[in-house]
Amino acid sequence: MKLINHLIYQLILIFYLLKKFPFLLFFKKYKKKSNNVVWIFPQFPFGIVKYFGSAAIFQDMALVFSLLNELDDIRFIIGPKIGKLKKINFFYSFTDKYNPFSFESNSRFLSETISLLESQECRIFPKLNELALWEDKAFMYEMFERYQIPFPKTKIIKPLSEESYLLSAVNDFNYPFLLKEHFGNHSKGIYHISDLSEFKTALSKLKEKKVTTVAVQELIDNDSDFRIIVIGDKVFQTYKRDKGNSESWTTTSTSNGSIIDFSPLKKDLEEKFIQFTDLLNLSNAAYDASIINDEIIIYEVSSSYLTNPEPPESFKNKPYIDFKNRYLEFAKSRVDIVFFLRHQWVKEQLKGYISEKDSEEIMKSSKYKNKRFIRTDKSIHSRCATHNVNRWNWIAEAGTKGRSYSELNLNNSIYRQNIKGKDNDHSIDVDITYDIENGWIKEK
């Protein structure tokens, strides 16, 4: 019955995806020699049923919809053959369909693959640093610790290690606690551990699955949590999931009967999430968090997601699953909100995107036109935002030779890619001046 229900919902979803898709705009803007390339359905022609039965088609159509509304032209690569692409703008979605060999980490496999395109002078959208925070909890907790972003007490362990080591590793955790697989999503791979016996049982399951690393995490005593979506420097969606009282522990997943409240956060709390996003150098972030008495604890952040739409008034204060079971209403509303948010994300990614002609015009008018820049010996501290550090380190890599203004001003330069909050055709002079005046770089 569950499979039949999923099939019905997916068919309805595809109907609304096709209804939303701008076919006239597609035929107008599709060009075989476009420099803007979108990679979709990487396993084509294999797995066609799984592709159309999964969230991948949703993600891909939302991406193409957004690009058609922002770019002058576009073309597709369907299937795995991307190796010959050079000096193009490369667009893709985060889905498990890009991991045909079933490696444990979707994001790490995809990142290694796409990084080869960077070496072929392709400009990647989204950037690889954003991909790193999709379904990779080990890296995520490392970033939280580096930037002092509040998260529950957590320890990384390797289930394939000796049992004596694993038992001693959790000695400083009180029961109950959680075990979280590092490469899961949608509440998958989470184990609620009430005692030593349950811990040993979970370890056996993890060893059987050949899971290499998991997080041991304290359990926050809270029957609700929040989803906060930040794109650029704005919070676009917030909702609170309340699972209420239950006889046994469950997540706040809507499939478990949670009630959702879409009331916005207070402005000062929104600002904190925007600050976290800036520190993590993300253009798009979906946080799952506990907020008690204005104290924020981040459970997870993801740079790719499918969000929930706000239900009609008649479904408010009722289990959200009631709205989800109204397939026609839910699918239409979800397509609308996902397409809207993806469009906002694409616009954010394209900030700093300029044509070669625009780049030449900017260079002609710059006071730094014939200058070269080198890194100073000023130390970088842990609170420096990642995108700033990336700029300075890129200049440092050139050593005493330094980098020219023309290098910095290139459309796909590391310097330009790591400038946040700018319009598409901006001059980088203000950013260079900022880096010089604050002692991070200097003219050679």
What is the reported pLDDT for 424? 42
207 burial level (CB within 10 Å; 0-12, 13-18, 19+):
middle
Q: Residue 386 pLDDT > 80, yes or no? A: yes
Q: Parse the chain into domains and list their residue ranges.
A: 2-125, 153-218, 224-325, 356-443
Q: Provide the residue count of the chain.
A: 444
224-325: CATH architecture: 2-Layer Sandwich (3.30)
Mean pLDDT of 95-120: 78
Any idea what DSSP says for residue 313?
Answer: G
Q: CA-CA distance, 86 to 13, in Å (whole number)?
A: 35
What is the reported pLDDT for 344? 93
Contacts of 182 (CB under 8 A, 6+ apart): 105, 135, 136, 137, 138, 213, 214, 215
Q: CA-CA distance, 299 to 289, in Å (whole number)?
A: 5
Mean pLDDT of 169-182: 88
**CA atoms in the 13 A half-sphere facing the CB of 112:** 6
Q: Residue 238 pLDDT > 80, yes or no? A: yes
Q: Would 153-218 and 224-325 be classified into the same CATH topology?
A: no
For residue 21 the two structure tokens come to: 């898709």
Give the CATH H-level superfamily of domain 153-218.
Answer: ATP-grasp fold, A domain (3.30.1490.20)
- Condensed to tens digits (0 to 9), the pLDDT of residues 302-351 reads 988 889 999 999 998 899 999 999 999 999 999 999 999 999 999 888 87
Q: CA nearest 191: which of 427, 181, 236?
A: 181
With DSSP H G I counted as helix, E B as strand and the rest as coil, what are the percentages for the chain, rounded to 5? 40, 20, 40
- pTM, full prediction: 0.79
Mean pLDDT of 146-156: 93
For residue 172 the two structure tokens come to: 């400083």
**Backbone angles phi and psi of 89, in degrees to 5:** -90, 120
Residue 363's pLDDT band (cuts 50, 70, 90): low
- Condensed to tens digits (0 to 9), the pLDDT of residues 391-426 reads 999 999 989 888 988 888 877 788 888 887 554 456
C-beta separation of 311 from 323 below 8 A? yes
Q: Which of 88-92, 140-144, 207-211, 317-321 has the lowest mean pLDDT?
A: 207-211
- Condensed to tens digits (0 to 9), the pLDDT of residues 36-64 reads 999 987 777 777 888 888 888 999 999 99
Mean pLDDT of 144-171: 89
The mean pLDDT value of the chain amounts to 86
Any idea what DSSP says for residue 308?
Answer: P
**Backbone angles phi and psi of 311, in degrees to 5:** -80, 165
Ordered alpha helix ranges (H), 305-409: 320-324, 327-349, 356-364, 386-396, 405-409
Residue 186's pLDDT band (cuts 50, 70, 90): low
18 burial level (CB within 10 Å; 0-12, 13-18, 19+):
exposed
C-beta separation of 405 from 443 below 8 A? no
